[in-house]
């Protein structure tokens, strides 16, 4: 079995198991802890709708914080949108998803994907530089932050390398690319990349707690 | 050993003019995928090249490779090449058979010891030597015996190069490639099912004209022909970049000649010259005919996923195992939460 | 004394790049050995880990944006004042003890044990430099309520006997005497009678059955006793059947601020019991921010079931009375700006009430830039105003508030929190500032139209 | 000189080979004028899409001179409508095309009589005197 077959087969397979098992493990591990009931009389209705509201509204910055957080927010937006487009709108990737989902959706031309991928990498680097140079970030950062950064950027970089065909042969690069994705999938549930799913839980929790108070969310 | 005539002498004897010779050299450069600026060097080399003895061994094969070669799109040139080589043994093509043929092989081996070329098509069964024999000699024995005095071995076709279809899962004959058996001689792989005839002749021409083996890649394939992927040289590549893909064999995309990636084209991982050299006298090649590349010149092409499955498809097991992983996640999460709660209770009791 | 400069030397000897901790006073209560303090801190951190806190503690991205929302960080640039860093020990304990992967954290030693030095350092971060104002909770892209986590982290600190002395003393006095300033029931009654005389107002006391139970904060009783009269005037004017009670008059909750849940519960239960005893339909809280949080949103959880009465902040009560026409006020001809008490507005959800009241006063209302829910805290909430050593830091962050107020160029500054008022008064004296914070309630009381008194 | 057919390059419905190739021809012409150095482009080495080669041929058109060569099969040597740009096609004995080239030169080498052939021819002529 060559590297590509290993990557496409067992590596991806095991990574998928770990991704699914790890993510559910973490979610269940949190959700099955004791619950604290809130007996206070609500000011307004909360519940799931409130959770959904905050899941949506926290995607945007409240105006008082706009100026202070503009730079990192912009970078984070570019990175997330770029990552989203690269993962879900690149046609070969859509075919990958179609392989097990059974349906497809329209993609973007490769040149646009390439541009977005580069933008994601550039903003990722900008965010890393900020993490290293900003005293606050340097203080609060740990291994997870740097490793998660690497694990996220690595697949984009290897993906971009395939299209510019730098140094290696296509199948080698493709194998490395898929392996880097497998690494991302394996790490995702355990570190801070868990925010992929935890963001719904944290924002939702805040929505449920504070919306019923009528407090600012 | 008597001195064989040079190719230049052969051509002169045939009354080929210098102009004709120049034309021949230009065509040869084209075949060798060398830049036209190399023509003078080729001319010089060909003039002085000597006739070489060639022994062609056919093992577990379908004769498709021989078919391909004899239908080479350039019979004249091929003819010239075959004038320049002495095909001393090819049990499919030669009139002689059985002991007579074997005698010819032995004679050629003795006469040209250390200088002859061995061409092999077909894979070699190791499961049981009796699976494939010629004149009572097993393939593996014949290969070993013949290769012993050879200058180099050329494995023609994917079976000889990588095991091919006989070697595909479950490989009932225990088929192996030439490379697997010959380790002390240079082996040139010319894979393909079949290989492009021009490529076969080119490899021979290269050896004959320059007396040296071509530059090879990691899989011992001549870089001149296997240095770039089909995808890299495909005229449909712009559609790939634009994200325009044929989804079925008869949709609008297929009619408009869009990229066949989605229909399982293995062009991106297949190293071969089909996209430029093409087939049938440069008429066309599979993708131009509307069919995705099968990747026939790559190792394990028969086993590497479906022909019509896009390259970017992952090879997953059934969803059941994934559901199993999910269930394991629930269990682990529940155990973790229970452990956390037990710790909390313990700490609360301790105060 | 605290000498917080914000620009600390980098400690190059440290295992991880770190700032040299400043020389600060670490207070210790009791004579527990250090091991026991660590154990206590850890145990009482761990008690707080439920589904909600766990998701918060697991969800942090280390994006650092909370630093930009925190007045302490904005004014000092000291990275340690990054809100999420203030709960680092709490977070670390969660990951090591209870989180989904706690087993691996312990097995592989991925999160080190909390040390006594850590706890001492974090005393400053969890008490002196956090007013639990919750501004950081609004900037967090993950929606993590950091302020709520700080309150919980304080539980561990209290049990470890590692909180600032002043706060401990105040909380202890409160637990022992029922009032942080040691105001006894009799003293309260004395003050009420004095105010009734002084302001010529009927103030019912210890009525057996009443619809409304009114309570006061000891800051008001002690420092701003006119609030007692103002409360009475407003409740009288709205024709309410109401009363003060000697067995439940103290609204402040230093058990909550200091981090002792038992004391918090005891303080809340006094009020709840009193209200139930007189069959109150409504409990009106005074102008006090944290009292609102303690009773309006946490009271029922202390009781363990929904409260059989409504809890209202006085500003909510006034807004309601004005909107329904139960009371009327004279129009005032001046410009006014309003400082939102964090626990009432941002975290309590009663932001609109004060604005309704101000509207009835007919003033030229000048909202501060990013006022209301995004208001800068006075710097004294969460017990910080009690901590003497935190004064320089508190004054430093008050500058933000001053700028915010001054920009409105309003004639008058009003608010609705005695704790904010105390903090404003102190900082005003420190900076010899022009603005004196006025009480919204007192302003209404003074301008009641046709009010009986 | 005949006027070349004006087929717009950009209107090429094909696969993007024509434009860069013509650009290469342009540079080869510059080189020919400046250094008198000839260039040969092997058209077999380019991945032409269907119809693309025909398009190129139509685009280059036919010039003033064309020649036929009969050696190891026929060959046609034709100047295109752009002087200095020659279109060469070699065929084998079965009249199948075995090579297709663009030569950017004053005269393709293959048109000149070769010394070896001249010598052989002269010898043959000399034989006629005997």
Q: Please give the CATH superfamily to which domain D18-129 belongs.
A: HupH hydrogenase expression protein, C-terminal domain (3.30.1370.140)
Is B326 touching A (CB cutoff 8 A)? Answer: yes
The whole domain housing A124 covers: 3-21+63-192
Q: Span B51-226: which CATH code?
A: 3.40.50.700
Contact present, A201 and A208 (Cβ < 8 Å): no
pLDDT of residue B51: 76
Would an 8 Å CB–CB cutoff place B349 in contact with chain C?
no
Note whether A109 contacts B243, CB cutoff 8 Å: yes
Question: Token pair for residue C287?
Answer: 């102008």
Query: What local confidence, expressed as pLDDT, does residue C9 receive?
Result: 62
| Diameter of chain D measured on Cα atoms | 64
* Chain A contact for B310 (CB, 8 A cutoff): yes
Residue D29 has, within 13 A of its CA and on its CB side, a CA count of: 11
A33: chain C residues, CB-CB within 8 Å: 49-51, 54, 98
Please name the residues between 88 and 117 in chain C that touch chain B, using a CB distance below 8 Å: 97-103
Backbone angles phi, psi at C360, to 5 degrees: -65, -25
3-class secondary-structure state, position D128 = helix
Per-residue pLDDT band for B197 (boundaries 50, 70, 90) equals confident
The answer as to whether A58 is a domain residue is no
Residue B93 has pLDDT above 80, yes or no: no
Report if residue A153 sits inside a domain.
yes
Phi-psi category of C327—alpha, beta or left, where left has phi over 0 and alpha has psi -120 to 50? beta
Banded pLDDT at D13 (limits 50, 70, 90): low
Of the listed ranges B15-29, B79-93, D53-67, the least confidently predicted one is B79-93
C-alpha to C-alpha distance for C141 and C265, rounded to whole angstroms: 33
Mean pLDDT for chain C? 92
**Picking from B32-41, C327-336, C439-448, which range would have the lowest pLDDT averaged per residue?**
B32-41
Do D and C touch, counting CB pairs below 8 Å (3 needed)? Answer: no
Contact B26, B36 (CB under 8 A): yes
Q: Is the pLDDT of residue A190 over 50?
A: yes
- List chain B domain ranges: 51-226, 228-315, 321-351
State how far residue A96 is from chain C, nearest Cα, in angstroms: 29
Tokens describing residue B83: 């004038």
Cα A21 to Cα B325: distance, rounded to the nearest angstrom: 5
By the CB < 8 Å criterion, does B113 face chain A? no
3-state secondary structure of C336: strand
| Pairing assessment for the beta strands B124-125 and B175-176 based on DSSP bridges | antiparallel
Both ends of chain B: CA-CA distance in Å? 102
Q: Is A186 helix (H, G, I), strand (E, B) or coil?
A: helix
Counting Cα atoms < 13 Å in the Cβ hemisphere of B56 gives: 22
Q: Class assignment of domain C10-163?
A: mainly alpha
Using pLDDT thresholds of 50, 70 and 90, give the confidence band for residue C2: very low
Please state, in angstroms and rounded to a whole number, the distance separating the CA atoms of residues B144 and C107. Answer: 58
Task: Give, in order, the Cα–Cα distances in Å from A190 to each of A187, A195, C106, C108.
Answer: 6, 10, 15, 14
Predicted local confidence at residue B71, as pLDDT: 65
Least Cα distance to B45 among B222, B272, B208 occurs for: B208
DSSP state of C21: P
Averaged pLDDT for residues A55-61: 94
Q: Which of A46, A53, A35, A43 is nearest to A209 (CA)?
A: A46
Q: Is residue A75 part of a domain?
A: yes
Q: How confident is the model at residue B80 (pLDDT cuts 50, 70, 90)?
A: low
Cα–Cα distance measured from residue C350 to residue C320, given in angstroms and rounded to the nearest whole number: 12
Q: Is the pLDDT of residue D7 over 70?
A: no
Cβ <8 Å between C98 and B348: no
* Residues of D contacting chain B (CB within 8 angstroms): 14-17, 40-42, 44-50, 52, 69, 71-73, 75, 90, 92-94, 96-99, 101, 109-110, 114-117, 120
Over 60: is that where the pLDDT of D9 sits?
no
Buried b / exposed e over B159-170, threshold 16 CB at 10 Å, is bbbbbbbbbbee
Residues of B in contact with A26 (CB under 8 A): 333
Q: Report chain B residues whose CB lies below 8 A from the CB of C46.
A: 343-344, 347
Contact call for residues C412 and C438 (beta carbons, < 8 A): yes
Tokens representing D49 are: 């899409």
Region A33-37 average pLDDT:
90
pLDDT tens digits, C189-209: 999 999 999 999 999 999 999
Is residue D1's pLDDT more than 50?
Answer: no
Distance CA B333, CA D40 (A): 70
Q: What is the mean pLDDT of residues C428-441?
A: 95
Q: How many CB atoms lie within 10 A of CB C201?
A: 20
Residue A129 carries which DSSP code? Answer: H
- Residue B75 has what pLDDT? 42
C327-446 is a CATH 3.30.460 domain: no
The helix (run of H) or strand (run of E) holding residue C406 is: helix C391-408
Query: Which pLDDT tens digit goes with each residue over C150-180?
Result: 999 999 999 999 999 999 999 999 999 988 8
What is residue C293's DSSP assignment?
A: I
Q: From 2.60.40.10, 4.10.480.10, 3.40.630.10, 3.40.710.10, which CATH number describes the B228-315 domain?
A: 4.10.480.10
Contact residues on chain D for B29, CB-CB shorter than 8 A: 42
* Helical segments of chain B, H only: 7-13, 18-31, 39-48, 64-70, 75-84, 98-111, 139-147, 157-162, 178-181, 197-210, 223-226, 230-233, 237-242, 252-255, 274-277, 319-350
Domain boundaries, chain C: 10-163, 177-321, 327-446
Contact yes or no for A12 and B316 at CB 8 A: yes
Domain positions in chain D are 18-129
- Whats the size of chain C, residue-wise? 453
The whole-number average pLDDT for the span C281-302 is 96
Place of tokens 């350039």: B74
Query: Strand ranges (DSSP E) for B52-131?
Result: 52-58, 85-90, 117-121, 124-125
d(CA B283, CA A151): 47
CB of D96 within 8 A of CB of B73? yes
Task: Assign C11 to helix, strand or coil.
Answer: strand
Report pLDDT for A167.
62
* Chain C closest-CA separation from residue B225 CA (Å): 51
Which of the pair, C109 or D60, is modelled with greater confidence? D60
Whether A76 contacts chain C with CB within 8 A: yes
Mean pLDDT, all residues of chain B: 86
A55, part of any domain: no
Give the residue among C14, C76, C12 at the shortest CA–CA distance from C400. C76
C-alpha closest to that of B247 among A98, A178, C306? A98
Q: Say which residue the tokens 């059941």 belong to.
A: B320
Tokens of C162: 């590692």
Query: Is C348's pLDDT higher than 70?
Result: yes
> Can you point out the beta strands (E) in chain D?
39-42, 66-70, 74-79, 85-91, 97-104
User: Using a CB-CB distance cutoff of 8 angstroms, which residues of chain B are in contact with residue D109?
Assistant: 22
Return the DSSP state at B110: H
Q: Which two tokens stand for residue B1?
A: 């050993």
Q: Each residue of D49-91: pLDDT tens digit?
A: 888 888 899 899 999 999 999 887 889 999 999 999 999 998 8
CATH architecture of C177-321: 3-Layer(aba) Sandwich (3.40)
Lowest mean pLDDT among A86-90, A191-195, B308-312: B308-312
Number of other residues whose CB lies within 10 A of the CB of residue C390 = 28
User: Please, are residues B116 and B151 in contact by the beta-carbon 8 Å criterion?
Assistant: yes
Q: Which residues of C23-34 are buried (b: 16+ CB within 10 A; e: fewer)?
A: ebeebbbeebee
Rounded CA-CA distance C227/C207 in Å is: 20
Nearest by CB to B27, from D15, D41, D99: name it: D99
Residue A74, in any domain of the structure: yes
> Roughly how many angstroms between the first and final C-alpha of chain D, as a whole number?
47
Task: Assess contact for C294 and C151: CB atoms under 8 A.
Answer: no
Residues of chain C positioned with their CB less than 8 A from the CB of B343:
46, 97-98, 102
* Whole-number pLDDT of residue A1: 54
pLDDT bracket for residue D95 (50, 70, 90): confident
The β-bridge relationship of strands C282-285 and B152-156 is unpaired
Cis peptide before B15 (omega within 30 of 0): no
Torsion of CA D25, D29, D35, D38, to 10 degrees: 60
pLDDT at position D15 is 65
- What's the pLDDT tens digit per position in C59-107? 999 999 999 999 999 999 999 999 999 999 999 999 999 999 999 988 8
pLDDT greater than 90 at residue B214? no
CB contact under 8 A, C139 and A62: yes
Q: What is the pLDDT of residues A135-185, one digit of tens each?
A: 999 999 999 999 999 999 999 999 999 888 666 777 888 899 999 999 999
User: Is the distance from CB of B177 to CB of B155 less than 8 angstroms?
Assistant: yes
pLDDT of residue C36: 93
- Specify which residues C412 forms β-bridges with: C336
Separation between Cα atoms, residue B303 and residue C46, nearest integer Å: 55
Q: What is the distance between the alpha carbons of residues C272 and C291, in angstroms, rounded to a whole number?
A: 13
Number of domain units in chain A: 1
Report which DSSP code applies to C446. Answer: H
């Amino acid at each position: 079995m060559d590297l590509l077959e290993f990557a496409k087969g067992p590596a991806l397979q095991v990574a998928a198991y770990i991704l699914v098992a790890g993510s559910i493990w973490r979610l269940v591990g949190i959700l099955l802890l004791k619950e604290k009931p809130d007996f206070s009389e609500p000011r307004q209705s909360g519940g799931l709708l409130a959770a959904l509201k905050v899941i949506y509204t926290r995607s945007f910055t409240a105006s008082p914080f706009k100026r202070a957080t503009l730079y990192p927010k912009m970078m984070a937006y570019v990175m997330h949108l770029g990552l989203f487009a690269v993962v879900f709108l690149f046609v070969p990737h859509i075919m990958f998803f179609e392989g097990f989902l059974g349906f497809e959706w329209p993609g973007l031309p490769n040149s646009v994907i390439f541009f977005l991928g580069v933008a994601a990498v550039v903003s990722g680097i900008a965010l890393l530089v900020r993490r290293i140079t900003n005293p606050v970030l340097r203080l609060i950062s740990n291994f997870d932050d740097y490793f998660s950064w690497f694990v996220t950027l690595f697949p984009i970089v290897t993906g971009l390398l395939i299209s510019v065909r730098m140094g290696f042969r296509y199948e080698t690069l493709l194998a490395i690319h898929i392996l880097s994705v497998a690494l991302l999938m394996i790490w995702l549930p355990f570190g801070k990349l868990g925010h992929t799913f935890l963001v719904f839980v944290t924002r939702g929790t805040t929505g449920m707690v504070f919306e019923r108070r009528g407090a600012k969310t | 050993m008597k001195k064989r005539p040079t190719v230049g002498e052969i051509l002169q004897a045939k009354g080929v003019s210098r102009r004709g010779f120049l034309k021949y050299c230009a065509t040869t450069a084209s075949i060798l995928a060398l830049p036209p600026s190399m023509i003078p060097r080729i001319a010089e080399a060909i003039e002085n090249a000597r006739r070489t003895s060639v022994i062609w061994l056919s093992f577990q094969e379908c004769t498709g490779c021989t078919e391909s070669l004899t239908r080479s799109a350039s019979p004249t040139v091929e003819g010239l090449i075959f004038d320049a080589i002495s095909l001393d043994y090819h049990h499919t093509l030669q009139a002689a058979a059985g002991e007579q043929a074997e005698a010819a092989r032995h004679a050629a081996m003795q006469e040209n010891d250390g200088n002859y070329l061995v061409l092999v098509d077909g894979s070699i069964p190791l499961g049981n030597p009796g699976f494939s024999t010629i004149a009572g000699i097993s393939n593996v024995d014949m290969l070993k015996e013949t290769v012993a005095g050879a200058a180099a071995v050329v494995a023609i076709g994917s079976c000889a190069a990588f095991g091919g279809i006989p070697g595909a899962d479950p490989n009932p004959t225990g088929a192996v490639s030439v490379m697997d058996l010959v380790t002390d001689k240079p082996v040139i792989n010319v894979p393909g099912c079949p290989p492009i005839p021009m490529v076969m002749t080119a490899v021979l021409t290269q050896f004959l004209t320059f007396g040296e083996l071509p530059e090879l890649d990691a899989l011992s394939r001549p870089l001149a022909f296997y240095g770039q992927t089909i995808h890299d040289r495909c005229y449909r590549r712009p559609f790939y970049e634009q994200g325009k893909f044929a989804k079925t064999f008869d949709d609008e995309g297929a009619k408009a000649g869009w990229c066949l990636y989605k229909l399982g084209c293995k062009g991106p991982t297949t190293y071969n010259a089909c996209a430029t050299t093409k087939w049938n006298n440069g008429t066309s090649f599979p993708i131009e005919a509307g069919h995705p590349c099968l990747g026939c010149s790559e190792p394990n092409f028969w086993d590497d996923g479906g022909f019509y499955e896009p390259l970017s498809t992952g090879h997953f097991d059934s969803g059941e195992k994934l559901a199993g992983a999910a269930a394991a996640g629930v269990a682990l999460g529940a155990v973790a939460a229970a452990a956390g709660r037990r710790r909390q209770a313990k700490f609360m009791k301790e105060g | 004394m605290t000498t917080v400069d914000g620009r600390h030397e980098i400690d190059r000897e440290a295992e991880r790049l770190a700032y040299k901790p400043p020389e600060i006073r670490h207070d210790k209560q009791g004579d527990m050995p250090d091991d026991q303090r660590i154990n206590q801190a850890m145990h009482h951190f761990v008690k707080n880990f439920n589904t909600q806190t766990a998701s918060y503690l697991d969800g942090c991205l280390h994006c650092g944006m909370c630093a930009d929302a925190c007045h302490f960080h904005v004014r000092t640039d000291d990275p340690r004042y990054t809100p999420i860093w203030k709960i680092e020990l709490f977070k670390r304990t969660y990951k090591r003890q209870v989180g989904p992967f706690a087993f691996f954290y312990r097995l592989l030693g991925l999160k080190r044990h909390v040390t006594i030095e850590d706890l001492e350092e974090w005393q400053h971060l969890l008490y002196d430099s956090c007013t639990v104002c919750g501004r950081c909770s609004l900037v967090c892209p993950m929606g993590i309520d950091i302020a709520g986590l700080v309150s919980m982290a304080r539980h561990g600190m209290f049990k470890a006997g590692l909180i600032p002395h002043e706060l401990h003393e105040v909380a202890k006095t409160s637990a022992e005497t029922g009032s942080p300033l040691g105001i006894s029931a009799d003293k309260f009654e004395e003050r009420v009678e004095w105010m009734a005389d002084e302001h010529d107002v009927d103030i019912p006391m210890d009525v057996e059955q009443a619809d409304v139970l009114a309570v006061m904060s000891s800051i008001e009783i002690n420092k701003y006793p006119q609030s007692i009269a103002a409360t009475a005037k407003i409740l009288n004017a709205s024709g309410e059947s109401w009363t003060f009670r000697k067995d439940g008059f103290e609204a402040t909750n230093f058990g909550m601020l200091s981090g002792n849940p038992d004391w918090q519960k005891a303080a809340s239960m006094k009020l709840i019991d009193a209200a139930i005893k007189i069959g109150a339909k409504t409990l009106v809280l005074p102008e006090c921010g944290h009292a609102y949080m303690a009773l309006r949103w946490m009271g029922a959880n202390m009781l363990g079931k929904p409260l059989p009465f409504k809890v209202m902040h006085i500003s909510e009560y006034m807004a309601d009375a004005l909107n329904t026409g139960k009371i009327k006020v004279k129009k005032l001809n001046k410009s006014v700006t309003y400082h939102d008490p964090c626990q009432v507005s941002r975290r309590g959800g009663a932001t609109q009430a004060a604005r309704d009241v101000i509207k009835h006063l007919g003033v030229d209302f000048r909202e501060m830039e990013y006022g209301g829910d995004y208001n800068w805290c006075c710097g004294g909430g969460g017990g910080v105003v009690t901590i003497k050593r935190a004064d320089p830091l508190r004054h430093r962050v008050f500058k933000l508030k001053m700028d915010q107020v001054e920009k409105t160029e309003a004639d008058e500054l009003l608010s609705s929190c005695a704790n904010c008022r105390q903090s404003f008064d102190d900082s005003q004296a420190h900076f010899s500032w022009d603005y004196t914070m006025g009480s919204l309630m007192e302003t209404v009381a003074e301008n009641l139209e046709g009010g009986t008194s | 000189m005949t006027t070349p057919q004006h087929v717009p390059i950009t209107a090429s419905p094909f696969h993007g080979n024509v434009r860069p190739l013509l650009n290469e021809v342009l540079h080869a012409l510059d080189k020919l004028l400046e250094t008198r150095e000839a260039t040969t482009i092997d058209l077999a080495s380019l991945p032409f899409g269907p119809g693309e080669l025909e398009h190129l041929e139509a685009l280059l058109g036919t010039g003033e001179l064309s020649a036929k060569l009969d050696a190891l099969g026929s060959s046609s040597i034709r100047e295109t409508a752009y002087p200095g740009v020659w279109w060469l096609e070699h065929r084998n004995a079965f009249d199948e095309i075995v090579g297709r080239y663009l030569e950017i030169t004053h005269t393709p080498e293959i048109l000149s009589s070769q010394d070896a052939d001249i010598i052989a021819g002269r010898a043959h002529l000399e034989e006629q005197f005997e």
